[in-house]
Amino acid sequence: MRDRFASEALAQIPKILTLLDRNPHSPTYGCFDRNFWHYKIIDFPSGMAQEFILPLALAYQTPLQDNPFYQQPSLKQWVAAGIHYAAQSAHADGSCDDYFPFERAGGAAAFSLLACIESYTRLGLSNSGFLNFFATRADWLAHHQESGRLTNHQALIVLCLERLSRLLNTDRWDRAKALRLEQVFDWQNSEGWFQEYEGCDPGYQTLTISCLAQIYQLNPTERLKTALIRAVELAAQFIHPDGSFGGEYTSRNTYNFFPHGFEVVGRWFPPALAVNDRFLQGLSSGRAPCYADDHIIGHHTWNYLLAWQDFVIDRPPLVPRPDGRVWLPQARLLIDRRQGTELYVSLNKGGVFKLFQADRLVASDTQFSLQVRQGKRLRNAVGHLVSQYGIELQDDELVIRGSLGWAKQKQMTPVNLMILRLVMLTIGRFYPNLIRKLLQKMLIVGKQDAPFQFVRRLYYSDGGWGVEDELRSLDWQSVVAAGIGADQTSIYVVMSRTFQVGQLQPWLDLTDQVKRLDPGVPLRIQRWLSE
């Protein structure tokens, strides 16, 4: 089972190498942003892409018989070229851009710096210019605070500063490390989850665990150990019976799973290993999501290879999870396990849910979605946006009430891009965090109510689950199409909207039923979910 991590990761290396400019005489030698150096369809390189050196460095180190990249000199040269290009393309203060010029993106700077430090150390490189670049970027990260609460970024920054402090044998960033780690502790909810924008996202939780586990290896404290145990116990609840993890019912809609932290923590807290064992079962049966696009292919690749390298051979046997209800009132997430069924439902997202029977996904539901005509515009009213919905919880029933919200569907146009470029090339370059905050409000956070009210009732009866939905409107004539999807989301999250086999469930088309309704008459749908 251990080799499954490595084989999945090594399968991505050819694509990563395709993204890399491997021509030593090219001015962009070492750049991993193919849209920039090859297609020339963007006007700046993404700094995040330089993170892809770490999968190459780890592939170079992975002694599997069928690994064609093991100890290949070319890989070592390309890693060095990637570090050089990261330094060459950075701003003078060490920061880098990701989605627009002069963005100075904290996440991109942290991911790529960690990759640079790790690759430099693992491959035994020696270059004073690289070390000066690492220190400059670390200084910028130490003092930069981005908008939005993304705990995984804070943990990444602490790990970068800790790794670099040891590489350079300095206490230069001790105060910054302490302050950032304190922020991570503050952002851990009493239920065990770390804040990610508007709530709990188990997928990003596994990345935070991975970073904190490595920090604990380097600088163990009782407080960090306690935080890790709570975080692992929380994450363990979200590994599904089929080995999949997370999904649209979480705050950031991700299927992320970063296994390395569970191997590290599992050395001194064996229950953590069961999380990976269950995930590996799903990985072996093709249940992992696909993250092989040009922007996000790197994260999971290096984390899988680290999990292979640090895999714990002596593992306790898997034991069945007990029946019962897990209710997280602050995350507003409910897990109900009974008589071979497992229900995962988000009560702060209108009752978005997944239902499993034995080890099979039998229902995935992301609430009502309507296409609504308003003048010449078509807008999308959805039931899955985060809000404080009215809820009622009983032993065999849960009810969620609220309004649909308008989906965030803002697209870039030539005019919008020109305006953004003009702003960033003038005043925006001095206030990148303000621009980031405005874009977050436009694309990610917040909900604007739509004039449709719903009631969702999930109930347990005769060994299975059913759902009753009611939707009310004073004007059905404006509704062009209606339905319920298995994987619909509408906020911008980099790591979301990836494909996973559970999304093959068909769309439930309700358009004909809506068109037959008279004004004020509610739409009522009743479904039996269990098989």
Residues found in the chain:
531
Are 518 and 429 contained in the same domain? no
- Residue 371's domain comprises 326-408+447-528
Residue 165 CA to residue 161 CA, distance in Å, equals 6
Say whether 325 sits in a helix, a strand or coil.
strand
The predicted-structure confidence for 7-59, as pLDDT tens digits, reads as follows 999 999 999 999 999 999 999 999 999 999 999 999 999 999 999 999 999 99
Are both 377 and 488 inside the same structural domain?
A: yes
Task: Specify the residue for token string 């665990």.
Answer: 209
Same domain, 87 and 107: yes
Choose among 54, 12, 83: nearest CA to 159.
Answer: 54
Structural domain contains residue 13:
yes
**Together in a domain, 507 and 424:** no
Q: Are residues 59 and 181 in the same domain?
A: yes
Residue 338 has pLDDT above 80, yes or no: yes
Residue 134 lies in a domain: yes
Question: Which residues neighbour 220 within 8 Å (Cβ) at sequence distance 6 or greater?
Answer: none
On whether residue 320 sits in a domain, the answer given is no
pLDDT band at 422 (very low <50, low <70, confident <90, very high): confident
Within a domain: 316 = no
Give the whole-angstrom CA distance, residue 222 versus residue 219.
10
Same-domain check for residues 196 and 332: no
Question: Which residue pairs from 23-26 have beta carbons closer than 8 angstroms and sit at least 24 positions apart in sequence?
Answer: 24/81
Domain boundary among 255, 279, 309: 309
The C-alpha atoms of residue 127 and residue 220 are separated, in whole angstroms, by 30
State whether 386 and 402 are in the same domain: yes
Residue 523 pLDDT > 90, yes or no?
yes
Same-domain status, 200 and 81: yes
If asked whether residues 439 and 451 sit together in one domain, one would say: no
136/273 same-domain check: yes
What is the DSSP annotation of 118-147?
HHHHHTT---HHHHHHHHHHHHHHHH---S
What 3-state class would DSSP assign to 467?
Answer: strand
What is the residue-averaged pLDDT of the chain? 94
Question: Does any domain span residue 76?
Answer: yes
The answer to whether 294 and 107 are in contact (CB under 8 A) is: no
Per-residue pLDDT of 364-402, as tens digits, reads: 999 999 999 999 999 999 999 999 999 999 999 999 999
Whether 300 and 259 map to the same domain: the answer is: yes
Residues 125 and 214 in one domain: yes
Give Cβ neighbours of residue 382 (< 8 Å, ≥ 6 apart).
366, 367, 368, 369, 370, 404, 405, 406, 407, 488, 490
Q: Is residue 96 part of a domain?
A: yes
Please tell me the total count of domains within the chain. 3
Cβ atoms of residues 382 and 371 within 8 Å: no
Would you state the pLDDT for residue 31? Answer: 98
CA 36 to chain centre: 24
Tens of pLDDT, residue by residue over 153-173, are 999 999 999 999 999 999 999
Where residue 61 sits, what CATH number does that domain have? 1.50.10.100
Q: Has residue 321 been placed in a domain? A: no
Name 118's Cβ contacts closer than 8 Å, sequence gap at least 6: 54, 57, 163
| Predicted local distance difference test score (pLDDT) of residue 447 | 86
